[in-house]
Structure 1
Amino acid sequence: MQVDLDKPLDDYPDEDPILKELAKKLTIKGSFHSTTVRDLIWWFGAYRRGPLIVDRIAESLAKYKLVVEPDFRTTYVDNYVKVSAKSESSKNPAPVEESAGSDSNFSHFSISQLESANRALITVAPNDPLEKAVSLMLAHDFSQLPVLNNSRSIRGAISWKSIGSKLAVVGKGELVSDFVGDCTVVEHDRAIFEVYDLIYNDEFVVVRAQDKTFSGIVTTSDLADEFRKVSESFLILGEIERNIRRLLDRWNKLPAERICEICNIARFDGFHKLTFGGYLRIMENDEFWSSIPFKLDRKTFVDLMDNIRITRNSVMHFNPDPSSEKELRQMRNFSGLLQKLIGFHQS
């Protein structure tokens, strides 16, 4: 039985009242609350599954004797999960013992966490006419289509390559079955790092979900798009850090000893050796801020910078969820602000 929340999500100040409400409502046997992973982590004020948020969610679920199935850590962020009361047979996700950047956690980055692995498949059957497959590929700008016998049985795939090869050699064919080629099927829980070569060699793989149906297809183009999202975050963050160091170099009038005190370090060898947290502590300092050559609101600037710090920590820990558009916009805007300040300083 589906159980809903009493209020819209935005009306809850944090996760505690949500979990308290669900703990009371989910005492009825067989009851559950359905939500997406994205909304689940939003209860905790997060956009992505960083290591600290994952630990916090697991601890809070245990506190209120709730479980989430399937595992919220490895399920695609826009897929639905069920929150229910913990029973004797229920198992909470194993605690995360390593940081998200450690090798042991790479296994959690499964292929099912990619958007394309969860996109509704467009397929054809072996006895469909070739014209249907061609029309679907042209209409959707696809290079291939899975050929299914039924929802849990795959014959192979038809592609521009398989069609061209058959026509070049045989010169004819009317049904999809005349042009089917082999395809690689990977299970939903396979680590994405294990299937890179398969995707690059075969140009695509078909993903089989936990219920043995086929949940999506991942192509080389999909991988390139994922890498673009990740690399954009790294590039913007790199630019932000470089410009923060440039501003610190230009604005700073504090002696090295005072910087050591502010940042709680034994020795100051330059701003390039400080952590992002160190940059933030200096910007927050009254002595430093009073010496900057611009009329800026310190709280606004520091709050913006702290938001970047939180996003940076998640990105640098190789969080499996790509940066949201909101996070990317925040990073771009803050980078633009720093560029303006540098430009004003030079003019």
Structure 2
Amino acid sequence: MRAWVVRAGENGEREKAALEEGILIVGWLELGDLAGTAARDDIKAAVAAAYPDEGPYTVGNWSGQLFRFVHEMEPGDLVALPLKSLLVAVGRVSGGYEYRSGDADGIRHVRRVEWLAKDIDRQSIQSDLQDSMGSLLTVFELSRFGAAERVAALADGKPDPGRPDADEFAATLTEPTKLYEEVRRWSAAEPLTLSVRDFLAVWGVKRRHPAVIEQIQNDLDGRGLVTIPPFTEGSLETQITVVAGGAEPDEAGTSAVTRLTGTTSPSAVVQSAADAAGHMADDDSQARTVAYRVSNLDSAGRIPECVRVGDDLRTAMTLMVLRDYSQLPVLDAAGRLRGVVSWESIGRAHMADPAADLAAATVRAQEADRSDDLLDWIGTIQKSGYVLVRDHDHKVCGLITDSDLTVQFGTRVRPFVLVEEIEQRLRRVVDRCIPIDRVRVAVTPRRARRVNSATDLTFGEYGFVLKEADNWAALGWVIDQRHFLAALEECRNFRNDLMHFSPDPVTDDQLRPAQGLLELLRSMDPRS
């Protein structure tokens, strides 16, 4: 037995018919009969034909919901219907998919249901199950936290027994729930827009790596939310828009993503997000991994100073001297790149003609797309000294120089060097002060056989070794053991996080605890 939620319209417009007629209803009025579909691809083709203005993400999302409604739900499954009255109705699916071709009131795609209870107080449902029911999707399964058994208990008039592992439950979805509520409050003309940094903070994280991305993406999918562009792209300061990508079409037959372009005067951020939506894949192939993109560098998102076609060459030269630039992009009136002027190109133009103008000194530019893999461009940047960055409209949106690479990779290497020195100093002091037999006693018996010196210890095992009173005393350090071990554990967690690939740099605040531990080790053992 499975448990589902089938909402009755964004504003509850189908609630009365659903409860009075004993049916589950979904929208998508432009679609015809889906009874003849056998696979998700069949439904996807029908959705794409009925809603030709929608992008691949929306088509894929809607197709998934409709496939679940038509094919995956089975008689005997339980279904919950959250009502606008803050009550919840619970029923048991009693029939297969039906299409009512003659209904003009939005009641065409239906399934029969036997309502077991229509007046369950939402406050009697524990917060984690309430949150699971709060998705913006029309059709979705309640699959976590023992949901099916709990919905069955509610249908029998019993209280929600709570999730099976309630003792271990941490309210991880509290903040994402607030995000969901905010998305509902913002308008289609000005949807919720925030930086990647602030978006990650909703989940209490500061950097993107695979485990974090999987958790966040699962939460977004469960709520029918999508970020445009994907939150995996760009730097931490990149602005992303959060919309109800899975919500069914409105009365005009358009999705929330498409409505971004339908406002009278959308903001620049909204328009950019809407344009980017056209390049998104559907929910089966949307990018969910982290790569080191050109856009991950801050300078790739800062529009560089430039000159325009027709400007005087002296304008370019003056700006280059004042700003200490080696080159300047040359743009046309639409903001598209026409080339670049550099000291080398100016020199060559003047050698050929002392009266050369800007056009004569303009040469072809190195130009990367913001979604390109940065590693593919490192050689070009090192050779030419720069690469200009374009957006999906082929407009210049940034400039990366060799100095940007130096700073970026210097920032990324620094934490590894710091942690390596901490490990080296721990290794030397343990080898010098603590006999190897006492070191082996501090680790697990299985590991002890492999430990012949401190070099064989993992970072975490240093804490086990130095926690022992005799081993700590052997160091002869006049510092607080408890605080030192706490700092060592904090550094271990930092090191583990560092080992997960992420395109996001480590900030000075994140680095400070490890830096403090290193300074303490240097003070205690200056000979190392």
The TM-score bracket by the shorter chain reads: 0.7 to 0.9
Q: Which of 276-285 and 242-251 deviates more?
A: 276-285
Q: Secondary structure at the match of 1:225?
A: helix
Q: CA–CA distance in 2 between the matches of 1:44 and 1:199?
A: 36
Does residue 193 (structure 1) correspond to residue 375 (structure 2)? The answer is yes
Q: Deviations over 1:4-51 (max 9, x none)?
A: xxxxxxxxx986433111222323573732221122223333332233
Contact 2:176 2:203 (C-alpha < 8 Å) held by counterparts: no
Q: Deviations over 1:267-286 (max 9, x none)?
A: 21222122222223434456
Contact 2:391 2:397 (C-alpha < 8 Å) held by counterparts: yes
Match of 1:245 among 419, 427, 437: 427
1:127 matched to which residue of 2?
Answer: 310
Contact 1:185 1:205 (C-alpha < 8 Å) held by counterparts: yes
Report matched runs for 1:99-110 at 5 Å. Answer: 108-110=291-293
Report matched runs for 1:10-89 at 5 Å. Answer: 16-27=173-184, 30=188, 32-87=191-246
Q: Deviations over 1:39-66 (max 9, x none)?
A: 2223333332233333332233344443
Q: CA–CA distance in 1 between the matches of 2:483 and 2:223?
A: 36
Contact 2:301 2:398 (C-alpha < 8 Å) held by counterparts: yes
Q: Which of 285-294 and 180-189 deviates more?
A: 285-294
Does residue 161 (structure 1) correspond to residue 344 (structure 2)? The answer is yes
Q: CA–CA distance in 1 between the matches of 2:510 and 2:391?
A: 30
Q: What is the RMSD of the two structures over their aligned residues, measured on CA atoms?
A: 2.9
1:115 matched to which residue of 2?
Answer: 298
Contact 2:179 2:202 (C-alpha < 8 Å) held by counterparts: no
Q: Which of 198-207 and 119-128 deviates more?
A: 198-207
Report matched runs for 1:1-347 at 5 Å. Answer: 16-27=173-184, 30=188, 32-87=191-246, 93-96=286-289, 108-173=291-356, 175-252=357-434, 255-261=438-444, 264=447, 266-284=449-467, 288-289=471-472, 292-343=475-526
Q: Deviations over 1:302-336 (max 9, x none)?
A: 33223322332343344322221223333332211
Amino acid at match of 1:268: V
Amino acid at match of 1:39: D
Residue 242 of structure 1: CA displacement? 0.5
Contact 2:175 2:203 (C-alpha < 8 Å) held by counterparts: no
Residue 243 of structure 1: CA displacement? 0.8
Residue 163 of structure 1: CA displacement? 0.8
* Residues 235/135 of structure 1: CA separation in 2 closer, same or farther (3 Å cut): same
Q: Secondary structure at the match of 1:27?
A: helix
Q: Secondary structure at the match of 2:179?
A: helix
Contact 1:34 1:80 (C-alpha < 8 Å) held by counterparts: yes
Q: CA–CA distance in 1 between the matches of 2:471 and 2:302?
A: 51
Q: Secondary structure at the match of 1:240?
A: helix
* Residues 286/52 of structure 1: CA separation in 2 closer, same or farther (3 Å cut): farther
Residue 154 of structure 1: CA displacement? 1.3
Q: CA–CA distance in 2 between the matches of 1:124 and 1:265?
A: 67
* Residues 95/164 of structure 1: CA separation in 2 closer, same or farther (3 Å cut): closer
* Residues 14/157 of structure 1: CA separation in 2 closer, same or farther (3 Å cut): farther
Q: CA–CA distance in 2 between the matches of 1:55 and 1:281?
A: 32
Amino acid at match of 1:128: D
2:158 matched to which residue of 1?
Answer: none
Contact 1:47 1:324 (C-alpha < 8 Å) held by counterparts: no
* Residues 151/216 of structure 1: CA separation in 2 closer, same or farther (3 Å cut): farther
Contact 1:156 1:180 (C-alpha < 8 Å) held by counterparts: yes
User: Which structure features the higher share of helix residues?
Assistant: 1
1:10 matched to which residue of 2?
Answer: none
* Residues 52/129 of structure 1: CA separation in 2 closer, same or farther (3 Å cut): same
Amino acid at match of 2:351: A
Q: Deviations over 1:230-275 (max 9, x none)?
A: 2222222221110121232244355354133288565212221222
Contact 1:237 1:331 (C-alpha < 8 Å) held by counterparts: yes
Amino acid at match of 1:261: T
Q: CA–CA distance in 2 between the matches of 1:263 and 1:293?
A: 30
Contact 1:111 1:189 (C-alpha < 8 Å) held by counterparts: yes
Q: CA–CA distance in 1 between the matches of 2:350 and 2:337?
A: 23
Contact 1:23 1:65 (C-alpha < 8 Å) held by counterparts: no
Contact 2:225 2:242 (C-alpha < 8 Å) held by counterparts: yes
Contact 1:126 1:177 (C-alpha < 8 Å) held by counterparts: yes
Contact 1:148 1:156 (C-alpha < 8 Å) held by counterparts: yes
Contact 2:442 2:464 (C-alpha < 8 Å) held by counterparts: no
Flag structure 1 segments of 5+ consecutive residues without an equivalent.
1-12, 97-104
Q: CA–CA distance in 2 between the matches of 1:152 and 1:26?
A: 33
* Residues 246/153 of structure 1: CA separation in 2 closer, same or farther (3 Å cut): same
Contact 1:26 1:84 (C-alpha < 8 Å) held by counterparts: yes
Q: Deviations over 1:188-222 (max 9, x none)?
A: 11101111222223221111113432110111221
Q: Secondary structure at the match of 2:308?
A: coil
